[in-house]
Amino acid sequence: MATTKAADLIRGKDFNAAVDKALAIASKRHEIALADDRNFVVNWDLVGRRIKDGLLADKFAADVAKQLGTAGIKAVPATLKFNKWIWVGFYERNRIPVFREIGF
Q: What is the pLDDT of residues 46-103, one digit of tens each?
A: 788 888 888 889 999 999 999 988 888 888 898 888 788 888 888 876 665 555 555 5
Contact 81, 54 (CB under 8 A): yes
**Residue at 44 is within a domain:** yes
The residue among 35 and 4 whose pLDDT is bigger is 35
**Residue at 74 is within a domain:** yes
The residue among 26 and 84 whose pLDDT is bigger is 26
- Position 18, amino acid: A
Q: Counting Cβ atoms within 10 Å, is residue 58 exposed (0-12), middle (13-18) or buried (19+)?
A: middle
**Residue at 1 is within a domain:** no
pLDDT in the model for residue 17: 83
**Residue at 104 is within a domain:** no
pLDDT in the model for residue 96: 58
Q: State the average pLDDT over residues 19-29.
A: 90
Tally of structural domains, the chain:
1
The residue among 68 and 36 whose pLDDT is bigger is 68
Contact 51, 68 (CB under 8 A): no
CATH number where 31 lies:
3.30.980
> What pTM does this model have?
0.59
pLDDT in the model for residue 2: 55
pLDDT in the model for residue 104: 40
Show the domain range for 80: 12-95
Q: CA-to-CA distance for 31 and 99, rounded, in angstroms?
A: 34
**Residue at 100 is within a domain:** no
